Amino acid sequence: MRLALGDIPTAASCLPYQCGADSSNISAIYACAVAGYSGALSCDDPQCEPYCPNQNLAPTLAPPYQPPATPSAPSQPTTVLTPASIVQPFPDITRTLQPIVASQPCDWWQTMNGDIAANTLLSVAALAGLFLLAFGGKK
């Protein structure tokens, strides 16, 4: 007996759901639980005999676990691990840090800037000259 929508659940109509015969009908299981017919019965229960068709089948047992046979000699890795093969080396940034060499001849402004950058005393003298020009002539 299958419980239809709108039926009032009784002990007889909820027995298939308690025995697990129709476990996909969630609404009927819920209606039976609300009516007080909840709980699961096993196929060993005599009430569930008509709802457990596979009751007379003998249970099949899986063979016990047997670990795989170990080889006589341990297998060797195909590649030898070294620190160089494990750790990624740093990228070579020497080309990035090299000075940029102009391919065309420098004009006088670029030459003067290069000389000031190469000689610290010349840069101090240029700054002092600019300071005197800016603030030294006023009285």
Spatial separation of the C-alpha atoms in residues 44 and 100, rounded to whole Å: 90
**What's residue 77's pLDDT?**
61
Report yes or no: 107 and 114 within 8 Å, Cβ to Cβ: no
Q: Other CB atoms closer than 10 Å to residue 138's CB: what's the count?
A: 5
pLDDT digits (tens, 9 = 90+) for 33-54: 888 887 777 777 888 877 776 5
CA atoms within 13 A on the CB side of 31: 18
By percentage, how much of the chain surpasses pLDDT 90? 1
pTM score: 0.36
